[in-house]
Amino acid sequence: MALQWFCVTFRDMLLMLALATAANLASPPPCDVRKAPYNAVGDNRTDETAILQRAINECKGDVLISGPATYLITESLVLASDLTMRIDANTAIHSEQPLCDPHGTTPDPSTGKVYPACKQNPACPTLYWKTGPTAILCGTNLSNVAIIGADPKTSLIDGGGWPWYTAGVSNHSMQGQGPRTYELAWSKNLTLQRIGIHNSPSWTVHPTFCDGVKADEIEIHNPRFTPNTDGFDPDSCTDVVLSGSLIDTGDDGISIKSSNSSEPGSGHIMMPGRNIHIYNTTILSRNVCLGSATYGGIYDVVVEDCTIGDEDGSSPWAIKYKSHQNYPGPLVNHTWRRIKVGKIWPNNYQQKNGGYFMSIELRYHPLIPNRTCHTWNCPIFENITFEDIAITTAKRAGDVNGFQGALLEGLTFKNVTFKEAPAQGWQCGFVDPDSFVAEDVYPKLECSEGPRVGDSVGAAAAAAATAAAAVESCCGVRMQSGELVWQCCDSPEALDGE
C-alpha cells in the first residue's frame, strides 16, 4: 500500500511538473520595452513611438511597459490582437500629438494661424472625425486586447490634452477636437484594468461597434472646464461592464451611445448598444447619460450601487437622457438602482444652466420646436426604472419629457428622495399614465399625458433647460479681455454623437 501511494504521488508530481513546464513554454515572459532589442529610455523626452509600436507588433502576448519611467509618444499606437500591455506602477505613456486642424481649413481667430493637417494612422478608426487625428491607442478588427496596470493612480496613460485645451480657449471650434485616448472599433474581448487615464484631448474611452468590453478599477481625470472630454463612452457595443472605477471629467462622465457613423463607400451604420452593466463606480463630474447618439437603440442597461457627484456640488447634472429628435433610437429596459447622488449644482466653469438631478429630453438640439413625431421617426422609450436613489439636494428635481406622439411608457420611480427639497420640483409630461408608477418619491412626482405639469415655479426653469440643451454642445471657456469666461455659441449646430 505504501509503495502504491508512493507511485501515485510520484506520478502526480511528474504530471504537475510537465504541466508547469508546458505552461512556461506556452507563456514566455513579457517583452520589456526597456530591454533589448527595444531599449526604450523612458525619460519623457525621447520620442519612443516607433519603439513601442515595434514591441506591440513583434511580441506574442505580453508587452511590459516597465518602470518607473515615462514614455513619450507623438503619434497613434496601433494595438494588436491577443495583446496584453502591462504598465508598471509609477509608469506612464505620455502622448504629445501636435496640434492640428481637425476641420481642414479653420484658422485660429486670435492669431490667424492655420494648423497643419492632422495625422491619421490608416489602421485606426476615424468614425465621427473624418479629418481629425486618430486616437492615441487605437485599432480595428481586433480581439483579446488588454491593458492592465499595477495601480490606477500610478499606472498611467496621459493624453497630453493641455495644448488642445489652450487652443480651445481662443478658438471654440478646437474644443474637444483632439485625439481620443482609447478608441477601438469592430473588436471583441477588450479589457482595461487598474489604469489611470488623464488629460484626454477629447473623449477618453470610446470603444465602438465592439463586443465584450470590460473596464475595472480604472480612473479617468480630465479638467472640469474642458468640453467634449467624456470619460467612458461605449458606442454601439454589446456586453459591456464598468466596475470599481472613478471618473472626473469636463463633460459626460459616462455616455452610453448608439452610433450614427459611416465608412467610406457605405451608408450610415446604426447598431444598437446592448447588455451594459455599470456598478460600484463614482462619477464626480459631470453626469451619467444615455445619448445623445441613440440611432440604433440602447437596450438592457443596469446602473447600480454607484455615486454621482459629491456634497460640494462637483456635478451640475446627475442622470440624463438625450436623444436627437430627427433620428431617435429605442431606449428599452434600463434599471437605475441604489444610487447615491450628492449636491447637484450649477457652476460658472462648466454649466451655469445646470443644477437639476434628472433630465429626460427626447428633443436634444430642438431644431424644430414643438415638433410632433410621425410613425417613422418617433422615439421608443419603454420600461425605464429608477429605484432606491437618495439625492442630497439640487436646484431643481428634474425635467421628464416625452413629446406628442411619443409618450414615455413603463416609466417607474420607487423610493427616489431628496434629503433637502430642491427649490424647484419636477416637471413631467407626455408620459403614458397607464404604465407610469411613482411610489415613495419626494418631492411628489406627477406626470401628464400631455404637456408638462408640476412645479409652477419650475416651469420657466424647465423651458430654460430645454433651450440650454440646444447650446450645450458649443458652450465652453473662452478668453475675453485677458480672462477666462464661460460663453456659448449664438447659433448652435447639431453634432452627431455627442
CB 458 within 8 A of CB 358: no
- SS3 at position 8: helix
Report the alpha-carbon distance of residue 365 to residue 368 in Å, rounded: 9
Q: Which amino acid is at 5?
A: W
Give ∠ CA 189-195-200 in degrees, rounded to 5.
Answer: 95
For the cut 90, the answer to whether the pLDDT of residue 272 exceeds it is yes
Res. 3 pLDDT band, cuts 50 70 90: very low
Cell of 442: 419626494
CB 428 within 8 A of CB 458: no
For the cut 60, the answer to whether the pLDDT of residue 100 exceeds it is yes
What string of DSSP letters covers 23-78? HHHHSPPPEETTSTTT----EEEEE-HHHHHHHHHH-SSEEEE-SSEEEEE-SPEE
Report the alpha-carbon distance of residue 96 to residue 105 in Å, rounded: 22
Q: Backbone dihedral region of 141: left (phi > 0), alpha (psi from -120 to 50 degrees) or beta?
A: left
Give pLDDT, residue 480: 46
Share of the chain above pLDDT 90, in %: 65
Report the alpha-carbon distance of residue 134 to residue 223 in Å, rounded: 21
Report the alpha-carbon distance of residue 222 to residue 226 in Å, rounded: 8
Neighbouring CB atoms inside 10 A of 333's CB total 17
Give pLDDT, residue 283: 98
Q: What is the mean pLDDT of residues 422-450?
A: 96
Q: Cβ neighbours of residue 30 under 8 Å, at least 6 residues apart? A: 59, 61, 62, 63, 64, 84, 86
Give ∠ CA 484-488-493 in degrees, rounded to 5.
Answer: 140
Give pLDDT, residue 498: 43
Lowest mean pLDDT among 72-86, 102-116, 224-238, 269-283: 102-116
Grid cell 511580441 — which residue? 59
- SS3 at position 449: coil
Give pLDDT, residue 474: 45
- Nearest in space to 169 (alpha carbons), one of 484, 482, 489, 473: 484
CB 133 within 8 A of CB 120: yes
Q: What is the mean pLDDT of residues 281-308?
A: 95
For the cut 50, the answer to whether the pLDDT of residue 191 exceeds it is yes
Give pLDDT, residue 363: 75
pLDDT tens, position by position, 24-35: 444 667 899 999
Q: What is the mean pLDDT of residues 206-227?
A: 96
- Nearest in space to 125 (alpha carbons), one of 186, 47, 175, 48: 186
The sign one gets for the Cα dihedral 111, 116, 121, 126 is: positive
Lowest mean pLDDT among 48-52, 116-120, 333-337, 471-475: 471-475
Q: What is the mean pLDDT of residues 320-349?
A: 91
Q: Which amino acid is at 355?
A: G
CB 394 within 8 A of CB 408: no
Res. 454 pLDDT band, cuts 50 70 90: confident
Q: What is the mean pLDDT of residues 467-488?
A: 46
Q: What is the mean pLDDT of residues 57-72?
A: 95
- SS3 at position 147: strand
Give pLDDT, residue 30: 86
Res. 267 pLDDT band, cuts 50 70 90: low
Share of the chain above pLDDT 70, in %: 80
DSSP 235: B
Q: What is the mean pLDDT of residues 340-354?
A: 91
For the cut 70, the answer to whether the pLDDT of residue 174 exceeds it is yes
Q: What is the mean pLDDT of residues 394-417?
A: 93
Grid cell 492655420 — which residue? 114
Q: What is the mean pLDDT of residues 306-315?
A: 97
Q: What is the mean pLDDT of residues 207-222?
A: 97
- Nearest in space to 183 (alpha carbons), one of 472, 494, 497: 497
Cell of 70: 515615462
Which residues is 130 bridged to in the sheet? none
Give pLDDT, residue 436: 98
Q: What is the mean pLDDT of residues 488-494?
A: 37
For the cut 50, the answer to whether the pLDDT of residue 488 exceeds it is no
Res. 378 pLDDT band, cuts 50 70 90: confident
Give pLDDT, residue 385: 98
Select the highest-mean-pLDDT range: 109-118, 374-383, 488-497.
Answer: 374-383
Report the alpha-carbon distance of residue 163 to residue 474 in Å, rounded: 19
